[in-house]
């Protein structure tokens, strides 16, 4: 797919987590960062389920 970022995660995955940017790193992990946070709030996981759990933990903590 010419013109796409080869590190970008599945677009459907990004749609499930509005407000988060998601990429697959060169390390093979999925990395997500919450748009608009400073310093950046970043989580990562080995797969979709792990990433979802990390994002859910952030939401439950209330960005503390």
9 inside domain:
no
Task: Name the band, by pLDDT with cuts 50, 70 and 90, for residue 63.
Answer: low
Global confidence as pTM:
0.76
User: pLDDT value at position 1?
Assistant: 37
The whole-number average pLDDT for the span 40-56 is 93
Task: Name the band, by pLDDT with cuts 50, 70 and 90, for residue 2.
Answer: very low
Distance in angstroms (rounded) separating the CA atoms of residues 48 and 11: 12
The total number of structural domains in the chain stands at: 1
Distance in angstroms (rounded) separating the CA atoms of residues 28 and 61: 27
User: pLDDT value at position 61?
Assistant: 87
Distance in angstroms (rounded) separating the CA atoms of residues 50 and 17: 13
Model pLDDT for residues 7-20, shown as the tens digit of each residue: 566 677 878 889 99
Which residue range(s) make up the domain with 47?
14-61
């Amino acid at each position: 797919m010419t013109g796409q970022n080869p590190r970008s995660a599945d677009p459907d995955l990004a749609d499930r987590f509005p407000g988060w940017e998601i990429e697959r790193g060169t390390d093979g992990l999925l990395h997500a960062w919450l748009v608009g946070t400073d310093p950046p709030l970043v989580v990562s996981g080995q797969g979709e389920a792990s990433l979802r759990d990390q994002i859910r933990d952030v939401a439950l903590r209330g960005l503390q």
